[in-house]
A and B are shown apart, each in its own frame.
Chain A
Amino acid sequence: MVELNPKYLEDLPLTSYSDNSTELLRTGTWKYVQPTYEDKLPACSHLCPAGNDISKAMDLVARGQLDAAARLWRSANPLPATLGRVCPHPCESECNRNAFGGAIAIHAMERFLGDRSFDPAFLPERAPSTGKKVAVVGGGPAGIAAAYNLALAGHGVEVLDDKPAPGGYLRTGIPDYRLPREILDREIALVEHAGVTFTCGTRVGRDVGLDELRERFDAVIVAVGFHRARPLGVPGEDHPHVFNGVELLERILLGERPELPRRMAVVGGGNTAMDVARSLLRIGVEPVVVYRRSKLEMPAIPAEVDEAMAEGIEFNFLTAPSRVVVEDGRVTGLECVKMKLGEPDESGRRRPVPVEGSEFVVPVDGVVTAIGESADLEFLPEAARDGWRVAADARLVTPEEGVFAAGDVVSGAGTVTAAVGEGRRVAAVVHTWLTRGSLPDEAPPVQGLWDRPVNLDRTVYVEQLNPAYFTEVPRPELPELDPVERRSSFAEVMGGFTEAEAVAEARRCLVCGTCNECCNCLYFCPDVAIARRGDAFGFDIDADHCKGCGICVEECPRDALSLMEVKS
């Protein structure tokens, strides 16, 4: 240790010495733009007809909070385990991960979260009773979603269905190899637990009239779906070996094993046609699919078509039936005409045009028609009908006061997922009407029903992400039953995630448009103007010191911040 001579200290010149913190200086007044945390709609949720909050749930799974994620997913969607099996998952086609190794397996995640939450403990808390009563006509996916959300909002809800058990097309039209009955039963049991009463075997229009319902209930929701098969309109159709696909499928799925011809033509290219063909295969019939357009135009879920092809089912594309060939009272074939694709029609698909003189016979012993379904709406007054649909406006309100509508009878969208989404929307409209006595200008978009605030006008696509923070990670393969084994069994084809697989997959999610506390904003701020919130989720911006440079907005990997003009 060196001792300083105090004499030298006296000789030192005066030196200025600063010891006040610059925090006293409000440099935040320099700015003309300011950053704000603002969650936006991820591309996946933007396309989700059921309106699932995918990014938030993925983030929870990635953090290992699996139960919280399952609770969030089930909070407004009563059928996650079902949709996780039958949804055509448009979300994955737009997933921003496609640019970095392949879409997130959102469909499998929904199934994983659904299967995890069969315990009533996963249900949201039910709001106090409002004393209002709602009747839902039709126990399919739209009706179930509407009933579930209204029951959770505190209303008394009764679902009327003409079948022996609720579920609608989920029960009578979707085979076990896609949706095991046990899964559907458990989800419906949860809906009952949420406070919904199901009255089965009651057909509105036969057992009870609409007017009576309107008297007994404060609101009525019509969600009867499409059940009546459309006729083929060709000679020979009235033969007993020409079956209605919807009815035949329902019988097979209820466990009946009717005597059927050995080789049957299945006419149509939609999901019903695929389900009929694959179910026939499983009970020993040889199906031949006949479709008038090409594979590209098929309305069926592409994965279902691929699975059917993998199972060895024969497909005849660009083939339209013209006559059922009956010889000696027996069906011997289906006369068809070859088609070619012409100009696009109003559905955007190319219209099939017959090729002159190309008639040929597909040798079959029977025919199943599956060319589309329509609704049975005779119980509704004329004014509430619009052809094969219910006359409902953008608010999902019919001209009959207190009567609302949802599902295929409104949109004709034809997927379980769209039906669930519309069920949620009609529930929101009915809830507003019952509690406030007013109607919105239009039914809210299903994403607008989330608990957390999201800017619905901004969708996050890959262009809005900061690619510097993402590298390619490949999509995992999901287990699938061997096609040979599938041919003889109604066992479920697709496998699901294990817990570890689900977490690994969720960590691949880019969590677009949704703050996940990645901390880039916190760490890159040159002005130390961003701080953790402590106990609460997220960060706070210190407006007194933020100079509005926007680095946090630019470096946010997922577009969860926006730059706003400062209002003086």
Chain B
Amino acid sequence: MAVDLTMYDPRNLHLPEHEIMRSGHMACPGCGAALGMRLALKALGPDTMVVIPACCWAVIIGSYPYQALEVPVLQVAFETAAISASGVRAALAAKGRDDITVMAWAGDGGTFDIGFQSLSGAVERNDDIIYVCYDNEAYMNTGIQRSSATPYGAWTTTTPVETPKAEPKKNMVEIMVEHRIPYTATASIAYPEDFIRKMKKARSIRGATFIHLWISCPAGHKSEERSSVKIARLAVETGIFPLYEVEYGTRYTINHEPAFTDIREYLELQGRFRHLTDEHVETMRRNLEWEWQRLRAKVEMGRKLPLPPAPVKAPVDEGEREPAAE
């Protein structure tokens, strides 16, 4: 959070020191996905297995015989991130190991579009996995094609500036919430303490958890490499990407009240929005306002409602698992 921590301690952020991601990976300079993985594994610790489908991270991790993570990784087909993670969990159960966290780590294409049915199946069964969608809002790895995560108005190679994307971004978090899984949250690389707390919380839950991580992509967003964290922060501060979490499809908590900075500050840093007209921006603003009205209404609704009655999908047993090594 943008708290003036210098007031309390000259060292602002307090993150786990242990590194599980290694240097020398193949990510572009300024890659948000690389930073995201680094932070996620700081939270989960070494007793973690990672499943990666086709996505940027299938490349970032390094080609044979190199590997950028100090934990076991299974690389699988595009549409199978969630079901493969379910399989790893079943294999661990068969071996009597319940001390390992299984994380599926997929891009927005592999989550919103191609891996959608297997993800829906896995969370409907409430398999004990953490599914992280690192969302750079297009198929960046294959040449910046639009996905259903691409926002309204954005340029991609399949939505050229003459006809930018006309549809709004699919609301994946709400779709997951409607599966009534124990825990769904959004997170941002610009708010690492919040992201790490959410990953640790997901780790403590037996059942399916879904984390939607917004990341910058200098190559696909046509932005400056050095601005990656700044853009991610502006996505939150403009209100475009709210930081919130939902328990059992019911209890909504907004984790950071944005400053509602002018969205132009966010748009101007990215070449993929350079063609936007005032009309486009106005449409975005109206949509943003409506999204926030809806989110706040859900927060209110969640306050009035009790948690869902039986059958509840899985008990929350926070803290039972060994804490992550730091």
User: Is this pair of chains taken from one and the same complex?
Assistant: yes
Q: Using CB atoms and an 8 Å cutoff, list the residues of chain A in contact with chain B.
A: 1-2, 16-27, 30-31, 59, 62-63, 100, 468-471, 473, 507-511, 516-520, 523-529, 542, 544-545, 547-551, 553-555, 557, 563
Which A residues lie within 8 Å of B27 (CB)? 526-527
Interface pair A509/B24, CB less than 8 Å apart: no
Can you name 7 A-B pairs with beta carbons within 8 Å? A18-B65, A22-B62, A25-B24, A25-B26, A528-B22, A551-B30, A551-B228
A516 to B13, CA, bound (A): 12
A226 to B8, CA, bound (A): 46
Which A residues lie within 8 Å of B226 (CB)? 549-551, 553-554, 563
Residue of B nearest to A31 (CB): B29
Interface pair A549/B10, CB less than 8 Å apart: no
Which residues of chain B (17-35) have a CB below 8 Å from chain A?
Answer: 19, 21-32, 34-35
Which A residues lie within 8 Å of B26 (CB)? 22, 25, 27
Interface pair A22/B29, CB less than 8 Å apart: no
Please name 20 further chain A to chain B contacts, defined as beta carbons within 8 Å, in addition to the given A20-B66, A519-B11, sorted by A numbering.
A18-B62, A18-B64, A18-B67, A22-B23, A22-B68, A23-B22, A27-B24, A31-B29, A59-B10, A62-B6, A100-B4, A507-B8, A517-B10, A520-B13, A526-B38, A528-B21, A528-B23, A549-B225, A551-B225, A557-B6
A562 to B7, CA, bound (A): 25
A534 to chain B, nearest CB (A): 12
Q: Using CB atoms and an 8 Å cutoff, list the residues of chain B in contact with chain A.
A: 2-13, 15, 19, 21-32, 34-35, 38-39, 61-68, 94-96, 192, 218, 224-230, 233
Interface pair B96/A1, CB less than 8 Å apart: yes
Which A residues lie within 8 Å of B38 (CB)? 526, 528
- Best-buried of A517, A520, A549 by chain B (most CB within 10 Å): A549
Q: For chain A, what secondary structure do more than half of its interface residues adopt (helix, strand, loop), or is it mixed? A: loop
A509 to B27, CA, bound (A): 37
Residue of B nearest to A510 (CB): B6
- Best-buried of B23, B27, B230 by chain A (most CB within 10 Å): B23
Query: Do A471 and B229 contact each other (CB < 8 Å), given the known contacts A27-B25, A526-B31, A528-B19?
Result: no
- Best-buried of B29, B61, B63, B230 by chain A (most CB within 10 Å): B29
Interface pair A468/B62, CB less than 8 Å apart: no
Interface pair B66/A18, CB less than 8 Å apart: yes
A529 to B12, CA, bound (A): 20
Interface pair A473/B4, CB less than 8 Å apart: yes
A354 to B233, CA, bound (A): 60
User: Which single member of A469, A524, A550 contacts B225 (CB below 8 Å)?
Assistant: A550
Interface pair A469/B22, CB less than 8 Å apart: no
A68 to B162, CA, bound (A): 63
Interface pair B68/A551, CB less than 8 Å apart: no
Interface pair A529/B4, CB less than 8 Å apart: no
A101 to B99, CA, bound (A): 49
A545 to B68, CA, bound (A): 12
Interface pair B11/A545, CB less than 8 Å apart: no
A469 to B190, CA, bound (A): 11
Which A residues lie within 8 Å of B94 (CB)? 1-2
A554 to B227, CA, bound (A): 7
A58 to B218, CA, bound (A): 37
Interface pair A550/B62, CB less than 8 Å apart: no
